[in-house]
Chain A
Amino acid sequence: MIINSRFFNRSELIGFIVLAAVLFVILPLSLDVFRLNLVAKYLTYAFVALGLVLCWGYGGILSLGQGVFFGLGGYCMAMFLKLEASSVENTKIQSTPGIPDFMDWNQITSLPLFWQPFHSLTFTILAIILVPGLFALIIGTAMFKRRVGGTYFAIITQAVAAILTILIVGQQGYTGGINGMTDLRTLKGWDIRPDHAKVILYFVEVVLLFACIGIAQFIRLTKLGRILVAMREQEDRVRFSGYSVANFKIFAFCMAAVFAAIGGAMFALNVGFMSPSFVGIVPSIEMVIYTAVGGRMSIFGAIWGAILVNFAKTSLSESFPQLWLFGLGALFIAVVLAFPNGLSGLWADYVQPRIDRLFASRKRKPGWNDNSVADGAPAE
């Protein structure tokens, strides 16, 4: 097998250009600010989907707790923004000025210790990356070193998501409870609420997304990515070849967690609040579905999955709220039963051969079948 020396092969390059054109040019020019902000919200899930491609599609580790990392990232960002919004002047009607409003409502009179460092933006940005990363490291080490995987891992991550949600909802005074952290206003004095700020934040998010795509693509192309695939297919054989399977799994899981956390932080910035309804089991499983619909093996597919499923959700639940759950449920079943590789699988099966033929007919004699040997098929 020849390792591709180019960063993107031809079809990936087309995918990259199309996605870049849509996100950087077409959508900002054609949508109003409200709709663009909705796209920004969908794209926060694209970060999670991207992480799941690495961890689930390539590593074979299904995590049902990505909402935990999305939430941790989002809450870190929201805590910083909330502290800035709760300056002494803004909160002088409270019985204790200078602390977030929900603390005041819950008879807490001083800022808790773990909130203190979130006055600093540098610390916050570090925390967005490190807190979920470390958390994933702990869970991953505990599970993978003991060779727990597959369904057990899925159930345990799900339980972690449940625990965190109950904790956030229960500790209202420290976390804002079920309402979450609302009324986020400024970032270092820069108002994040007006239209022009939303547009700037959208572009910041798209740039970050492309940075993450670059990282994911890099991981995929290096030996590391190949080991992940090998591990998914024949875990024991990789282990007997002398690789530490657990460490690679932990790495993939941590990367997915960090991507999800960046998505969460961008969510808090773009949408202007953070609440436990984005942390629990239901959102976590929905995030997996975005990836599955887009294609668990395809970086660009997963991003399209996140955008399209969310778009369908918004438009369907606006007009037919009853149909939406039926549609989503049917989508789950259809994706699993009929096309397990999702949209990108359909693309690769039906659209890609035509494009290839188009290119091939220019270069070679017509009738040459370029696609007869699948390039991912391992030689036994």
Chain B
Amino acid sequence: MFGDYSLGDLGSIFVMQGFAGLILFSVYVLMALGLAIIFGQMGVINMAHGEFMILGAYVTWMTSNVFQSYLPGLFSGYFFLAMILAFVASGALGMLVEWVLIRHLYKRPLDTLLATWGLSLMLQQAYRSVFGAREVGVELPQWMLGSLHVTDSIEVPINGVFVMCLTVLITLSVAYVMYMSRWGRQVRAVVQNRIMAGAVGINTEKVDRYTFGLGCGIAGIAGSAFTMIGSTGPTSGQLYIVDTFLVVVFGGAASLLGTIASAFSISQTQSTLEFFMSGSMAKVLTLLAVVGILMLRPQGLFALKVRK
């Protein structure tokens, strides 16, 4: 297997595959962050999470088209506005969905799964009717094209680096909001003991709505970042939803650090294996390993010690 390559080549291969894995890692982390908030904190299984992500991607695509037609001079900076719009659009839809659907189902977590699956089917069809069945891709601004030459044999694409920086930034802000801010404390209080949280004066319904909205909004940002590295179609979200759930469960549902660690290990395993075998077998082996480990350790990598 290794015979045909020199040691230097092998090193470069591992670095390049590792970098490809890092991009996958970014997508996983961005999607899983929202899901970790919704599933890990609220216990709601949101099967439509992928569709919230795709909404963000479509918003980004529309913004880029608007900038191209009307504001070509500002095109290089459109992405930052698009990201904010994606967050707002997905977050608003998320809050609406929470109000119409989810708030009736907090006591029946398995039923949220079915209801949100229905929602995801409707959203997919809506995207297909509005944007067409074909995949769309955004045009990247000039500064994001090209790649950085690290050494002779190692090149890293700039858009990948950008998505990674974005991931780090968003992860840090989510960690800040959840663990440092007053609002994050309220969210965690509601999760740990809803009745007591209500008794000390927290408006639990409002906290629920904003938490769900925040999770969906982060999914929107994930979709926005996703357009930088791939094209968007009505069913693209569904491709990632199972992987993302596995990432969250594998990390230990309530732990942000666990989510990041599991996203890292899953994406790195997969992209390293992909070099040695076909993509499908790499994925099968990775998922099998995850399921196998979960069977031995159902609480995930980082388990929160709480008394139930």
Contact = CB atoms under 8 A, between A and B. Distances in A.
Interface of A: 62, 64, 142-143, 146-148, 150-152, 154-156, 158-160, 162-163, 166-167, 169-170, 281-282, 285, 288-289, 292, 322, 325-326, 328-333, 335-337, 340
Contacts of B304: none
A210 B120 CA distance: 35
Contacts of B294: 152, 156
Contacts, number: 111
A337 B115 contact: yes
A285 B117 contact: yes
Ranked nearest first, the 6 interchain pairs of A and B with the lowest CB-CB distance are A332-B118, A170-B280, A329-B122, A329-B121, A325-B125, A142-B295
Given A160-B291, A337-B104, A154 B281 contact: no
Interface residues of B, number: 41
A326 B122 contact: yes
Contacts of B125: 322, 325-326, 329
Contacts of B45: 151, 154-155
A62 B113 contact: yes
Given A170-B278, A332-B117, A152 B284 contact: no
Nearest to B105: A336
Contact of A336 (B39, B114, B278): B114
Given A156-B294, A322-B129, A150 B242 contact: no
Given A150-B110, A152-B298, A159-B242, A330 B122 contact: yes
A138 to B, nearest CB: 9
B242 to A, nearest CB: 5
A65 to B, nearest CB: 11
A289 B238 CA distance: 18
Contacts of A167: 280, 284
B121 A336 contact: no
Contacts of A151: 39, 43, 45, 109-110, 113
Nearest to B245: A155
Contacts of A326: 121-122, 125-126
B124 interface: yes
B135 to A, nearest CB: 18
A162 B287 contact: yes
A91 to B, nearest CB: 27
B246 interface: yes
Interface in B135-157: none
B62 interface: no
Given A146-B298, A155-B246, A325-B121, A332 B114 contact: yes
Contacts of B108: 336, 340
B189 interface: no
B114 A335 contact: yes
Task: Select the residue from B104, B284, B288 with max chain A CB neighbours within 10 A.
Answer: B284
Contacts of B39: 151
Contact of A333 (B101, B124, B242): B101
A166 B280 contact: yes
A332 B115 contact: yes
Given A163-B288, A169-B280, A329-B125, A143 B114 contact: no
Contact of B290 (A159, A288, A289): A159
B49 interface: no
Contacts of B124: 325
B249 interface: yes
Task: Select the residue from B114, B245, B287 with max chain A CB neighbours within 10 A.
Answer: B114
Interface string B94-112: 0000000100110011110
28 contacts: A143-B295, A150-B109, A150-B110, A151-B110, A152-B294, A154-B45, A155-B242, A155-B245, A156-B249, A156-B294, A158-B245, A159-B242, A162-B287, A163-B287, A166-B283, A166-B284, A281-B242, A292-B114, A325-B121, A325-B124, A325-B125, A326-B122, A333-B101, A333-B115, A335-B114, A337-B101, A337-B115, A340-B111
Nearest to A158: B242
B119 interface: yes
B119 A329 contact: yes
A82 B295 CA distance: 35
